[in-house]
Structure formats: C-alpha cells, structure tokens
Amino acid sequence: MSDKGPPANQPDLTPLFIILLIIIIAGLGSIRSCGPSEPNSGCAVPPPTQNPIPSPRPGPPVTTNLKQFTVQVGSFQTRDEANSLATSLRSKNINNFILQAEGKWLVCVGKYVSADRATRMANDLKARGVSTPVVLPPKKK
C-alpha cells in the first residue's frame, strides 16, 4: 500500500480565508443608520417624522350594528385619523379595530359578551392612559 499525502502543489487557503473574513467584518462595522440620535451625521435620508395623533372627539356613543359589547376609544370624521389612533394603540400592544357607523370612524377595543367585561377593559384602558373609553352595547334587534 502506498501512503498518499496531500498533493504537493495545493496551496493552504486558511490565511486567505481569515483575511477575507476580517475584511467582511470590518465592512459591516462601518455600516451605520441614520436616526434622531445623530442629527449631524451626514445621512442622505432624514429619519421619518411622526405626525401627532389627533385627540379622539368626545361625544355620545354611536349606534352600531355590533352583536357584542365593545369599548370605543375614539370617534373621527376621517379614516386617516382613526388609523393614526389605531396604530398608536397597537404600538402599546392594545389590539383594536376600526368600524364605520353613522358617518363616523370608530376605533374600538375588544368584543365582550357582558357589559361587566367591557367595563373592566374600559377601566384598564383608562389606567393605561387611553382617554375617554366608552362601552358600546350590542344593537337591539
């Protein structure tokens, strides 16, 4: 039996691989993001600005065609205003939905089988800083 070793003319690529890896890691370290913490960083694209969230318009609850109780946290003239509040609530991990009733856009939280459960949610929302939550009853048939 002949004992064959590595081919005589094959170069060792380990040092080349290590150098390439260092170059890639150094390149990733130079990547930076633009953000509000770096106002004079020379970023080509300014960071996005957030539009202020309009305050919900207080008023009497709107008659809806709900089959269960829900908690209304905002009533708006336009869908965009409702979307703004809905997005803000979702960023606070408050699930919600938008419905249209009597020409208004309502932002609501939850569907509950009892007024007691809906009231508990309204109180929880008040404690979390949501202004003027109103419990909406299901529509009478």
pLDDT per position as a tens digit, 49-66 = 555 555 555 455 555 667
Q: Is residue 64 situated within a structural domain?
A: no
Cα 20 from Cα 31, distance rounded (Å): 17
Tell me the residue range of the domain where 132 lies. 69-136
Confidence label for 42 from pLDDT (cuts 50, 70 and 90): low
Amino acid (one-letter) located at 29: G
Q: Is residue 116 situated within a structural domain?
A: yes
The domain total for the chain is 1
Q: Is residue 110 situated within a structural domain?
A: yes
Angle of CA points 89, 57, 93, to nearest 5°: 5
Q: Is residue 104 situated within a structural domain?
A: yes
Q: What is the mean pLDDT of residues 120-130?
A: 93
Percentage of residues in the chain with pLDDT exceeding 70? 66
CATH number, domain of 120, equals 3.30.70.1070
Q: What is the mean pLDDT of residues 72-85?
A: 94
Q: Is residue 119 situated within a structural domain?
A: yes
Top-confidence residue, 24 or 91: 91
> Does 116 score more than 90 pLDDT?
yes
Q: What is the mean pLDDT of residues 40-46?
A: 54
Q: Is residue 36 situated within a structural domain?
A: no
Tokens of 121: 């949610």
Q: Is residue 20 situated within a structural domain?
A: no
Beta carbons of 135 and 118 less than 8 angstroms apart: yes
Q: What is the pTM of this model?
A: 0.54
Question: Residue 139 in 3-state DSSP?
Answer: coil
